[in-house]
Structure 1
Amino acid sequence: MADTRRIRGQRGAFTYVLRVLVIAYLFLLVAWPVSLVVTNTFENGFDAVEAVFADPDTVAALRLTAVAAVIATAINTVFGVAISLLLVRGTFPGRRLLSSLVDLPLAISPVVVGLSLVLVYGGREGWLGPSLESAGIQVIYATPGIVMATAFVALPLVIREVVPVLEEIGTEQEQAARSLGANGWQSFWRVTLPGIKWAVVYGVVLTLARSLGEFGAVKVVSGNIAGETRTATLAVEEKYLNWEQESAYAIAFLLASVSVLCIIAVSILRSRADRH
């Protein structure tokens, strides 16, 4: 009996120490730095935020970031669901290779992603650059390149949310719908999509949050031209290096706020889905 109490006491002490270490780790790595951004932003009230929206170049950067993030999220939602269906419902040679390629954006540096896009689509030296330029299409150092870079780095998020749900729900309901005369498109809209809707929503929210904060790949392909191809994350760097720290903090705060709201939305959606 005494040994059992001693073991329980040791486990309780170990659990307590582990909790303290985890909380301290999260505080030092996440909570404290983010809180400093907030406190520095509002050190002089709302002056920094007002200055951000009074600067046309910064407003243009915020607008470009929002446009690129929304377009990239829409692209990744459509192709993410399609790829998920292909990985779960399809049987073909190279399926495992495709699944591995989906995770590639998580494994390589975003700077490498940007450089790769430049080598393919860039100007005179890119493989497709001369053909695109002769057709009047500019990808690199323009909005299309920013959208492509953003979509690339956020590609796996929708897929990795949808694939486990597709595997869980199986194919019985889809087969039943087809046996009743539904074609593939009707089966998808009336059976498959309702079954994966929450996973799609989670993936969309996470993709949007990730897209808003992209820096490395966008820095390579954008050209960082104020008022044209400078995104909000690049504006943060530019303001900070030019000793405009208050504006840098304010832009960072706006981006972080949207990301936090996305996380809160995911948490609320998950709790509602669990209740249903």
Structure 2
Amino acid sequence: MQVYRLPALSDNYIFLLHDPVSQIAAVVDPAEPKPVLSKLAELDAELVAIFNTHHHADHVGGNRALLQKFPQLIIYGGDRDRGRIPGQQVFLQAGDRVQFGNQIAEVFFVPGHTLAHIAYYFPESGDLFCGDTLFAGGCGRLFEGTPAQMVDSLARLRQLPDDTRVWCAHEYTLNNLKFAITVDGDNPILQERLRDVTAARQKQEPTIPTNIGIEKQTNPFLRWDFPALQAATRMSEPHRVFAKLRGMKDLF
């Protein structure tokens, strides 16, 4: 399975999965149709599936146009997003599995950013498509869920193997790390990452995918149980540490 990162809108990423043997493709969170159609034409591939993580417009904006172009494709999304994802045909719950080519993805229920958010994890290839739950150096805002829900969701993702590739849906990394250094400033791995990401973004290079290992070392929203973050928030309970960090980031 090949994964192509397609920039969209102002800072979104769409992910196109390609099976070069069967010449089929799937797309994760198509914000808009044009980049997807362009890549499909380049690959001469048929779109067979859309995997949506949640209902926000910058993740489902291309659904109907792509369905019109490929009427046989199947649109997947969370069961709790019923009625909110355009064209949705399959309603997924935690523990379900979906297939693309010869790869099987596990479905995780990861509420917090929204109440119905899901993620897709392909254990064989080590790819995680997590929408707006986990970002490089950060996490999604809590538009619908609670801090406790988001901590549970992030804890589920934190347990994945360190080499898991994290395909998150926005290029927010530099801003996230600028915040992270304000609450975890003595972290040498974070200091180095901030330097590297600053240099990459100055050259307009993407910072996605990231991986679980580096996120565990540098992402404050996965480090609620580390003394430095507990000291920065003056909290100790995981959901309270997280809530304080999220509030600080919202005002950053």
Classify the TM-score, shorter chain: under 0.3
Higher strand share: 2
Higher helix share: 1
TM-score normalised by L of structure 1: 0.19
TM-score normalised by L of structure 2: 0.20
